[in-house]
Amino acid sequence: MSEITATINETSAGAAGADTGSRYHVRDHHPENGTHLGFWMYLMSDCLIFACLFATYAVVGRNYAGGPSGAELFDLPLVAINTAFLLLSSITYGFAMLESQRKRVRSTLLWLGITGLFGLAFLGLELYEFHHLIHQGAGPQRSAFLSAFFALVGTHGLHVGFGIIWLVTLMFQLNKHGLIPENRRRLNCLSMFWHFLDVIWIGVFTFVYLMGVLP
């Protein structure tokens, strides 16, 4: 009888140990998987927002209401320089990710800082373009074309501004805590967000600016 009792106790202890191990296993891996899944869901919702803005521009992008058209307003060399700033920022962010994989905090911070500077340069030129258009009397209230233009390009610019704030916050966290798992996860999420903005901007540059200067 004592042998049977000992066997039952050992079995119960083994089951409890297995439950404890599985519980700790879930706690260790769930946050990362949950964060990435939640962030992908956020990006998909952002895709829907931009899809609606692109669709709106496609419908009203030729409704000038007797006002200026894109061919008369757009400064393609300036927009090309701005595009180069954003594309270069994606490259420098990629270097930051490579340095983070090598566990080099200082180099990671350096490349993140360069990325932020490119992002600020992009925003600066975009704000200059908006100011120039409004000064010419081509504000968002002038025509449906300009309303859709400011809505689409401005929404993208707001996302870039939010990304820069996130980038600066992450740099402070990296400087204070180093490349801990939480900061690595934040780096990955910001990387997806930043490259997503690049893809959206390529669509804006092609669909709005390049096609906008065609007769």
Tell me how far the alpha carbon of residue 18 is from its chain's centroid.
Answer: 40
User: Does pTM top 0.85 for this prediction?
Assistant: no
| Average pLDDT score over the chain | 88
pLDDT at 15 over 90: no
Q: For 123-176, how does the pLDDT look when each residue is reduced to its tens digit (9 = 90+)?
A: 999 999 999 999 999 999 999 999 999 999 999 999 999 999 999 999 999 999
Q: 110 is written with which tokens?
A: 């350096």
pLDDT at 162: 97
pLDDT at 35: 77
pLDDT at 3 over 90: no
Domain boundaries defined on the chain: 39-212
CATH architecture of the region 39-212:
Up-down Bundle (1.20)
Q: State the average pLDDT over residues 75-88.
A: 96
Q: State the average pLDDT over residues 49-61.
A: 96
Report how far residue 207's alpha carbon sits from residue 69's, in angstroms, rounded to the nearest whole number: 14
Q: For 109-127, how does the pLDDT look when each residue is reduced to its tens digit (9 = 90+)?
A: 999 999 999 999 999 999 9
- Enumerate residues 6+ apart whose C-beta is below 8 A from 164: 116, 119, 120, 123
Report how far residue 182's alpha carbon sits from residue 190's, in angstroms, rounded to the nearest whole number: 12
Q: 178 is written with which tokens?
A: 């180093």
Do 62 and 152 contact (CB within 8 A), yes or no? no
Do 212 and 79 contact (CB within 8 A), yes or no? no
Instruction: Provide the strand spans (E) within 54-163.
Output: none
